[in-house]
Amino acid sequence: MTVHGGDVEPVPPEDAHGRGGEDGARPYEMVVVGSVNADLVVRVDRRPAPGETVIGSDLVTHPGGKGANQAVAAARLGARVALLGRIGSDGHGEFLHKALAGDGVGLGHLVETPGPSGVALITVGADGDNSIIVSPGVNARLSEDDVAAAAGLLASARVVSLQLESPLAAVLAAARTAARVVFNLSPPAVVPDELLALCDPLVVNEHEAAFLLGGRGAPGSQARALLALGPRSVVLTLGAGGAVVAEPGGVIEVPSPRVEAVDTTGAGDAFTGALAWRLAGGDDLATATAFAVRVGAASVRRPGAQSSYPYPEDLEAL
């Protein structure tokens, strides 16, 4: 299944997956290291209590995974982006590979692995909010050796985007190789100080911030406290409330456009993928965050994760 290369900007379909990257004329401006999952989604009027059964909608399968989501979000906006990860040798793996290739993501380091692909079990409530259980599958086998094999790809990228649906050892190895690290602490977990020190920025939502800090507080205060933990910069996302940017020079609040939320699945990944791409293009952090907030807002207007991600023309009204 592995496709090599992938010079990703708007290009003719016959050229979308076969050129560029570390083996072509230009390096990828952005590389995502992370998970690739099949999202199994059911909509419900309300979530069941323990021991209770509720009736939901028909089951729908979408391509997902935090790594794949971020790569697709960036690719749809025009990024040249590659993905380092693993997919299974099952039917989900074939489905996921085809979806990524269709969006022009560079797949030369997407490794097909015997075993089940990652799966996310997602319930979406009437308010558009979601609850997710992830079965990692072969995502759990991404290794430091995989990172070493992609060292040239990672080192040549302007930004490497990381999350925690892959093993921490592989994430840390990728961060050590990268010129600039965008790290989303999701799902939240204890990470070494070395990894935090490499983040520029650390991206967290309110739940992840509370995990790191041991409690909640005003967003500006939380962002400052997160910066004191060692990252070079911080972006605290607030859903419909926008985001807060913290750098050594100060804290900036970034508002979000008002939209009607249909499904928030993958909105944080859309935000992070857009943020990483704009940073790779040379934007300062506040400017990149303002753009990413618009992308995240656009993504909640349609169901699914990758299926909801906007193209540039979808942002014009926001």
pTM score: 0.87
Has residue 278 been placed in a domain? yes
| Domain annotation covers residue 6 | no
Across the range 99-118, mean pLDDT stands at 96
Question: Mind spelling out the 3-state secondary structure of 6-75?
Answer: CCCCCCCHHHCCCCCHHHCCCCCCEEEECCCEEEEEEECCCCCCCCCCCCCCCCEEEEECHHHHHHHHHH
Top-confidence residue, 211 or 1: 211
- Identify whether 107 is part of a domain: yes
Per-residue pLDDT band for 186 (boundaries 50, 70, 90) equals very high
Q: What is the pLDDT of residue 2?
A: 36
Q: Encode pLDDT of 58-85 as tens digits.
A: 999 999 999 999 999 999 999 999 999 9
Q: Given pLDDT bands bounded at 50, 70 and 90, which one contains residue 208?
A: very high
Strands 234-237 and 199-205: parallel
Active-site amino acid positions: 269
**Residue 3 banded pLDDT, cuts 50, 70, 90:** very low
| DSSP-derived 3-state class of residue 125 | coil
Residue range of the domain that includes 113: 13-46+58-308
The answer to the question of residue 1 being in a domain is: no
Is residue 256 within 8 A of residue 241, CB to CB? The reply is yes
Q: Where is average pLDDT lowest: 18-32, 117-131, 243-257, 259-273?
A: 18-32
Bind-site residues for ATP: 205, 237-242, 268-269
Q: How far apart are CA 317 and CA 294, in angstroms?
A: 10
- As for how many domains the chain has, the answer is 1
Asked if residue 88 is part of any domain, the answer here is yes
SS3 state at 145: helix
34-45 pLDDT per residue, tens: 999 999 999 999
Tell me, what CATH number does 206's domain have? 3.40.1190.20
> Could you tell me which of 166, 16, 14 has the C-alpha nearest to residue 100?
16
Which parts are annotated binding residues?
Answer: 37-39, 65-69, 165, 205, 237-242, 263, 265, 268-269, 299, 302, 304, 308
pLDDT at 5 over 60: no
Could you list the residues known to form a binding site for K(+), using ranges: 263, 265, 299, 302, 304, 308
Examine residue 8 and state whether it is found in any structural domain, yes or no.
Answer: no
Residue 195: inside a domain: yes
- Annotated binding residues for substrate, as ranges? 37-39, 65-69, 165, 269
Mean pLDDT of 93-119: 96
Given pLDDT bands bounded at 50, 70 and 90, which one contains residue 124? confident
pLDDT digits (tens, 9 = 90+) for 83-98: 999 999 999 999 999 9
